[in-house]
Chain A
Amino acid sequence: MQSIKEQKAGTAQKRKKNSMMRIMMRRLRKNRLAMLGLAILIVIVLLAVFAPYISPYDYSKTDFSSTFQGPSAAHWFGTDELGRDIFSRLLYGARYSLSIGLTTVAISAACGVALGAIAGYVGGKFDMILMRVLDVFQALPGMILAIAIAATLGGGMSNCVISLAISSIPGYARMTRASILNIRQMEYVEAAASINAKSSRIIIRHILPNALSPIIVQATMGVAGAILAAASLSFVGLGVQAPNPEWGAMLSAARNYIRNYPHMVITPGVTIMITILSLNMLGDGLRDALDPRLKD
């Protein structure tokens, strides 16, 4: 009796072990580079969340007696032209960059996946019209589209998110549509349709979960791309505006002082680089972990 129970528990466990998520997590855990990326990312997120407790100074407090100081024990990364502590500003800047990255990807992935899924599943006129509209949007490089939209909407964080999200929707829509066109042919979709499941249920329960892995990878890389693009937008004065400690805006404000006070340019850039690097390492790891062609 005991042994049968154990056996049952054993098979249940085995079955659970083989879920796609588990396989992916196991493969991801083995990838040291991806785990390092994840660890760095977690540290950055914690630093951003607990910025008020960690930062040694008020990020907006000016101190004209200590402007342009190089790195020292009092100011780890030095101070800027108004005597503000760069380390504290970078900590708060992480809040801007991370939230811009995440919300941009959330909005664009949600819209793109929904549009792509409907277009791929429904097909017909809707598909054709949507694809032609996407053609028009993709006739412009993403950055130019984002800049044009941001220029008309004006600066500020939410406008920055909107313009970046709009310019990256077509990518998600196209990718989702392509994988859905493949999955639609599968037998399990036919089976679901034959027991009279609604279209919405088929899309959400049966098709999307199977189309998810490239979207996950794209979204991870998309956060990195959005942070970089937001930094560029702020650098040219279209994103988050100057007194706010966004990394790109800090680089933009510091560019006039690069000759004499290079620390003002180096530290924000390195911070951006480390953040993007960790996201890319995680994204690469996810891609490998979700690739069915690669064996453990």
Chain B
Amino acid sequence: MIRYIIKRVLLMIPVILGVTWIIFTIMHFTPGDPAVIILGTEVSEDLLEAKRVELGLNRSYLAQFLDYLKDVFLHFDLGTSYVNGKSVSAEIFQRFPYTFRVASLSVCISLLIGIPLGVVAAVNQYSWKDNASMTVALVGISMPGFWVGQMLSLLFALTLGWLPASGVGGPQYYILPCLAIGLSGCASIARQTRSSMLEVIRQDYIVTARAKGVIENKVIYGHGLRNALIPVITQAGSSFGIQLGGALVSETVFSIPGLGTYMMTAISSRDYPAIQGAVIYVAIIFGLVMLVVDLLYAFIDPRIKAQYSGKRRRK
């Protein structure tokens, strides 16, 4: 197991380096002079030139890239924002809690609603329950996430006045954004659960479980769902990973000062170090979350766990 984790983490390194290289190259060759972005166009050419030297922009592409790599991976320094001069790493660190709260709550919501919907639909295939929950899910995946957010805030915040429409504060500020993201997610979780449950409940071991007199609920949830869970966990994990990178558009709708808003502001103000840093951070977080998901498989499915330990024994 530990060997496997180490191997996976080592495999992540070239991927992260690749992402760093791609994003650095894209940003490097983007038109726009960082010195002008920082100082504006109203200053003399000498000042601009001095700024370029200070930023190292007069050096070759390769030298700049190696410098950046050294900063990021040896000093864990993602650079300094062009716009406000703050450290990008510190900013990401400071915004992370907001994004983390929204991401984990919304994934919980989508699992809590999505899995039961999918199970009910699969167990009662072609009945009205199946049709109703799949219609809901189909409509759910067809709505733009940010629009769901707008509609929820129109109903619960602006019309009924029950909840705050935007910003952060007490727990009540998180209800709408998490619902908006979670509801969009639960639709796809429900569809995934249904299709993988449908495959599982036709297996022989389900018949066996029923034949030996296990109560139906236990057959469905203990024997069926547990085996059907792997694709569902993969999907939930990948959406959690994406959310941890910042729910880009939904955070903007609800003005949550998380990573999504950070990235959007950075993009609109052409703050290249901030964009680069945020993207590299997302790649790392996404990779780590997918690693955790892979490890979760072992806890859900003993067969996979046996594979890990089996290898070790053979050695």
Interface residues of A in 229-260 (CB under 8 A from B): 231-232, 235-238, 248, 251, 255, 258-259
Partner of B150, one of A140, A231, A265: A265
Q: Is B268's CB under 8 angstroms from A237's CB?
A: yes
**B30 lies within 8 A of A232 (CB):** no
Partner of B144, one of A237, A269, A281: A269
CB-based contact A277/B142 at 8 Å: yes
Q: Whole-angstrom distance between the alpha carbons of A266 and B263 in the complex? A: 27
Inter-chain CA distance A228–B142, complex, in Å, is 8
Interface centre among A141, A248, A266, A280 (most CB of B within 10 A): A141
Q: Which of A16-24, A111-119, A147-155, A181-189 is the contact stretch?
A: A147-155
B143: interface (CB < 8 Å): yes
| Cβ contact within 8 Å between B14 and A139 | no
* Chain B residues, CB < 8 A from A149: 26
The digit string for A210-243, where 1 denotes a CB below 8 A from any CB of B, is 0000000000000010001001100111100000
Q: Tell me how far the C-beta of B274 lies from the nearest C-beta in chain A, rounded to whole angstroms.
A: 11
Stretch binding the partner chain, chosen from B64-72, B80-88, B175-183, B275-283:
B275-283
Q: Give the residue among B14, B139, B248 with the most A Cβ atoms within 10 A.
A: B248
CA distance A277 to B275 in the complex (A): 33
CA distance A7 to B6 in the complex (A): 68
Nearest-CB residue, chain A, relative to B242:
A141
Contact of A236 among B139, B154, B264 (CB under 8 A): B264
Q: Which residues of B contact A144 (CB under 8 A)?
A: 242, 245, 248, 263, 279, 282
Known: A135-B18, A147-B267, A235-B249. A140 touches B146 (CB 8 A): no
In the complex, the chain A residue whose C-beta lies closest to that of B11 is A135
Knowing A136-B15, A232-B249, A238-B267, say if A148 contacts B279 (CB, 8 Å).
yes
What CA separation (Å) do A152 and B153 show in the bound complex?
Answer: 32
For B268, what are the chain A residues with a Cβ–Cβ distance below 8 Å? Answer: 237
Are B267 and A139 in contact, CB atoms less than 8 angstroms apart? no
How distant is the Cα of A16 from the Cα of B57 in the complex, in angstroms? 67
We find that the number of chain A residues with CB closer than 8 angstroms to chain B is 40
Check A284 for interface membership: any CB of B closer than 8 A. yes
List the A side residues contacting B27 at CB < 8 Å: 152
Min distance, Cβ B72 to any Cβ of chain A, angstroms: 15
Q: Given A151-B275, A228-B144, A140 and B249 touching (CB < 8 A)?
A: no
A215 to B215, CA, bound (A): 41
Nearest residue (CB) in A for B238 is A141
Which secondary structure characterizes the binding site on chain A?
Answer: helix
Chain A residues with CB below 8 A from B282, complex form: 140-141, 144
User: How close is B69's CB to chain A, nearest CB, in angstroms?
Assistant: 15
With beta carbons under 8 angstroms apart, the residue of A152, A232, A284 that contacts B146 is A232
Interface string of A126-137 (1 = CB under 8 A from B): 000000110111
Q: Please report the C-alpha to C-alpha distance between residue A151 and residue B256 in the assembled complex, in whole angstroms.
A: 21
B286 touches A147 (CB 8 A): no
Chain B residues in 8 Å Cβ range of A262: 154, 158
How many Å lie between the Cα of A149 and that of B22 in the bound state?
Answer: 11
Query: A43 on the interface (CB 8 Å rule)?
Result: no
Contact A236 B286 (CB under 8 A): no
Interface status of A25 (Cβ within 8 A of chain B): no
Q: Which of B15, B154, B249, B253 contacts A139 (CB 8 A)?
A: B15
CB pair B248 A236 closer than 8 Å: yes
State whether the Cβ of A162 lies closer than 8 Å to any Cβ in chain B.
Answer: no
> Closest Cβ of chain A: how far from B180's Cβ, in Å?
13
Tell me whether B242 and A148 are in contact (CB under 8 A).
no
B144:A151 contact, CB within 8 angstroms: no
Could you tell me the distance in whole angstroms from the C-beta of A225 to the nearest C-beta in chain B?
10
Interface centre among A135, A248, A255 (most CB of B within 10 A): A135
Indicate if B23 sits at the interface (CB-CB under 8 A).
yes
CB of A276 within 8 Å of the partner chain: yes
- Chain B positions 182 through 194: 1 when the CB is less than 8 Å from some CB of chain A, otherwise 0: 0000000000000
Interface residues of B in 119-167 (CB under 8 A from A): 138-139, 141-147, 150-151, 153-154, 158
Q: Within 8 Å of chain A (Cβ to Cβ): is B16?
A: yes
Question: A147 and B263: CB pair below 8 A?
Answer: yes
Chain A's closest residue to B159 (CB) is A262
Q: Residues of B contacting A139 with CB < 8 Å? A: 15-16, 18-19, 283, 286-287
- Asked if A39 CB lies within 8 Å of chain B CBs, one says no
Tell me the complex Cα distance, A133–B147, Å.
Answer: 34
Residues of A close to B106: CB separation below 8 A = none
In order of increasing CB-CB distance, the 8 nearest A-B pairs are: A136-B18, A276-B142, A269-B147, A277-B142, A141-B242, A151-B267, A152-B30, A139-B283
Q: Could you list which residues of chain B lie within 8 angstroms of chain A, going by C-beta atoms?
A: 14-16, 18-19, 22-23, 26-27, 30, 138-139, 141-147, 150-151, 153-154, 158, 238, 241-242, 245, 248-249, 252-253, 263-264, 267-268, 275, 279, 282-283, 286-287
Interface contacts beyond A141-B241, A237-B268, A258-B153: sample of 17 additional A-B pairs, CB < 8 Å, sorted by A? A136-B18, A136-B22, A141-B282, A144-B263, A148-B275, A148-B279, A152-B30, A235-B144, A236-B264, A238-B267, A258-B150, A266-B151, A272-B143, A273-B147, A274-B142, A276-B141, A276-B142
